[in-house]
C-alpha cells in the first residue's frame, strides 16, 4: 500500500469508533529512566575540581553531567502519548473539554502542592511561583525573576499543548506530519540564533522533543504499529532504526566536539538536536519489539515505580536538595562518602514523599475528574 493510500485509510478509519490506547508498561519504565537521569544530574552532576576526587566519583559525575537530557526524554514521551490520545479522541464532541480537564487534574494538584510547600519554606520566591502558576517559568530572565526550580520544562509542555489540540482536531494527518517536520528542521537553526541567550528554557527553541514524539504518534497511528506486528517490523527496518542510529551518531559527535572544539556551546546545540532523535528511536523500538530484552528491561517494576512517581518527584527533588545542603552544608572536596550520601538521601526522601503524594493525594484527586468528563 502506498503512503497516500495509508494516509487516506487512516483518515477514513478516524470516523469509526476508536479503541482506547492500551497501557504500555515499558513506557512507564522510560518515564522512570527520564526522572532518574534528571535526579542524578542534580545530585551527582555537580561541579567540582576533578583532581581532588577519586576516579569512581569522576566517572559518576561525568555520566550524570548529561542527565539533563532526561528532560528531552520526558518531552518525546509526552509528545507521543498525548498526541496519540488526541488522535484517538478527535471525533469526540467533548474533545477540548475532556483534554483540558484531564490535563488540569493531572498537572495542577502536585504543582500547587509543591508551590505552597516551597513558598512556606522560603525555597521559592513569590514572583517565581506566580510565573509557575501561569506556566511561563521559562521566561524568568524577561521578568527579571530568579529561576528557583525546574518548572520551565512544565511551562514548555503546557505552552505547546495550549494550541496543539486544535491543530490535531482540525488538520489531516498529512498536514500534521508536515508541520511537525517543519518544527524539527527549524529548531536547530533557532537554537543557533539564540546561542547567547537562555535558549534551553524557551518553547521556541526546545519543542522539537515534543514534535519528535508527536511525529512518532502520527506514524504509529498511520502504520498501525501497535496493532500489526509484521508491519511494525517493516517500518522499524525502513525508518525507525535509522532515526535511532542518526541520533546516536550525532550525540557522540556532539560529545566529541565538546571536548575538542573551541566553542562548547555549539556542541550543546548538537546534543540538544541529537537527544530527541535518539529517544524517539528508542521509544519506537520499544513499540515495535514487544518481546525484546530491552523492552523487558523497561518493564522492570523498579523503573515503572519511579515512572509512576516521576511527575511529583521531578518537581520536588530540586528543593529537597536545597534543604539537604542547608542542613548539611556544601560538599567538601574529595569526600566520596558525603558525595554519595547526598544523592541517595535526596532520592530516598523524595521517593517517600512522592509515593505518599501519589497514593494519598494525586490519584484520589484524579479520581474526581470522572464527575466532570463527558
As a whole number, mean pLDDT of residues 7-26 equals 56
As a whole number, mean pLDDT of residues 344-369 equals 95
Average pLDDT taken over every residue of the chain = 89
Contact between 324 and 39 under an 8 Å Cβ cutoff? The reply is: no
**How crowded is residue 328: how many other Cβ atoms within 10 Å of its Cβ?**
12
Distance CA 133, CA 144 (A): 17
Q: What is the pLDDT of residues 290-306, one digit of tens each?
A: 889 999 999 999 999 99
- HSE value, Cβ hemisphere, 13 Å, CA-based, for 235: 25
The answer to whether position 13 is within a domain reads no
The answer to whether position 338 is within a domain reads yes
As a whole number, mean pLDDT of residues 60-66 equals 91
* 141 vs 262, more confident: 141
The answer to whether position 112 is within a domain reads yes
The answer to whether position 7 is within a domain reads no
Q: What is the pLDDT of residues 84-137, one digit of tens each?
A: 999 999 999 999 999 999 999 999 999 999 999 999 999 999 999 999 999 999
Distance CA 200, CA 78 (A): 18
- Identify the domain containing residue 316 by its residue range: 22-371
Burial class (CB within 10 angstroms; exposed 0-12, middle 13-18, buried 19+) of 54: exposed
Contact between 35 and 307 under an 8 Å Cβ cutoff? The reply is: yes
| pLDDT score, position 15 | 40
Q: What is the pLDDT of residues 236-280, one digit of tens each?
A: 999 999 999 999 999 999 988 877 766 667 788 899 999 999 999
Q: Could you write out the DSSP letters of every residue in 210-241?
A: HHHHHHHHHHHHHHTTTT-HHHHHHHIIIIIH
Residue 5 has pLDDT above 60, yes or no: no
| C-alpha dist (Å) from residue 259 to 124, 252, 256, 284 | 35, 11, 5, 31
| pLDDT score, position 136 | 95
The answer to whether position 350 is within a domain reads yes
**Percentage above 70 pLDDT, the chain:** 92
Contact between 241 and 309 under an 8 Å Cβ cutoff? The reply is: no
The answer to whether position 4 is within a domain reads no
Q: Could you write out the DSSP letters of every residue in 107-149?
A: HHHHHHHHHHHHHHTTSS-HHHHHHHHTT-GGGTTTTT----S
* 196 vs 156, more confident: 156
The answer to whether position 88 is within a domain reads yes
The answer to whether position 10 is within a domain reads no
The pLDDT confidence band at residue 14, using thresholds 50, 70 and 90, is: very low
| pLDDT score, position 222 | 85
Q: How many domains is the chain built from?
A: 1
Q: What is the pLDDT of residues 31-42, one digit of tens each?
A: 999 999 999 999
| pLDDT score, position 4 | 52
Locate 218 and state its grid cell.
502520527
Amino acid at each position: 500500500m502506498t503512503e497516500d493510500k495509508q494516509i487516506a485509510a487512516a483518515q477514513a478509519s478516524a470516523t469509526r469508533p476508536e479503541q482506547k490506547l492500551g497501557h504500555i508498561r515499558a513506557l512507564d519504565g522510560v518515564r522512570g529512566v527520564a526522572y532518574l537521569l534528571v535526579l542524578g544530574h542534580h545530585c551527582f552532576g555537580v561541579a567540582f575540581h576533578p583532581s581532588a576526587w577519586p576516579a569512581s566519583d569522576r566517572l559518576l559525575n561525568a555520566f550524570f553531567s548529561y542527565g539533563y537530557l532526561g528532560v528531552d526524554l520526558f518531552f518525546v514521551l509526552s509528545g507521543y502519548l498525548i498526541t496519540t490520545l488526541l488522535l484517538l479522541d478527535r471525533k469526540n464532541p467533548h474533545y477540548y473539554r475532556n483534554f483540558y480537564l484531564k490535563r488540569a487534574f493531572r498537572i495542577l494538584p502536585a504543582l500547587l502542592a509543591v508551590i505552597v510547600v516551597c513558598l512556606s519554606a522560603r525555597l521559592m520566591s513569590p514572583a517565581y511561583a506566580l510565573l509557575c502558576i501561569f506556566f511561563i517559568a521559562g521566561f524568568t530572565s524577561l521578568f527579571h525573576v530568579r529561576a528557583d526550580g525546574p518548572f520551565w520544562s512544565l511551562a514548555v509542555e503546557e505552552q505547546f499543548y495550549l494550541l496543539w489540540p486544535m491543530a490535531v482536531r482540525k488538520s489531516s494527518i498529512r498536514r500534521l506530519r508536515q508541520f511537525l517536520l517543519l518544527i524539527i528542521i527549524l529548531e536547530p537553526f533557532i537554537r543557533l540564533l539564540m546561542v547567547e541567550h537562555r535558549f534551553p528554557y524557551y518553547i521556541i527553541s526546545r519543542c522539537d522533543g515534543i514534535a519528535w514524539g508527536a511525529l512518532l504518534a502520527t506514524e504509529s497511528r498511520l502504520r498501525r504499529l501497535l496493532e500489526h506486528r509484521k508491519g511494525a517490523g517493516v517500518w522499524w527496518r525502513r525508518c525507525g532504526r535509522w532515526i535511532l542510529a542518526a541520533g546516536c551518531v550525532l550525540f557522540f559527535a556532539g560529545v566529541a566536539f565538546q571536548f575538542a572544539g573551541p566553542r562548547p556551546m555549539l556542541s550543546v546545540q548538537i546534543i540538544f538536536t541529537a537527544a530527541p532523535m535518539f529517544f524517539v528511536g528508542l521509544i519506537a523500538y520499544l513499540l515495535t519489539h514487544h518481546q525484546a530484552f530491552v523492552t523487558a528491561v523497561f518493564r522492570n517494576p523498579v523503573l515503572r515505580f519511579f515512572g509512576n512517581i516521576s511527575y511529583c518527584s521531578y518537581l520536588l527533588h530540586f528543593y529537597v536538595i536545597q534543604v539537604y545542603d542547608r542542613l548539611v552544608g556544601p560538599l567538601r572536596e574529595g569526600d566520596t562518602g558525603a558525595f554519595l550520601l547526598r544523592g541517595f538521601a535526596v532520592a530516598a526522601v523524595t521517593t517517600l514523599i512522592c509515593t505518599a503524594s501519589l497514593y494519598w493525594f494525586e490519584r484520589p484527586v484524579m479520581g474526581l475528574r470522572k464527575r466532570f468528563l463527558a
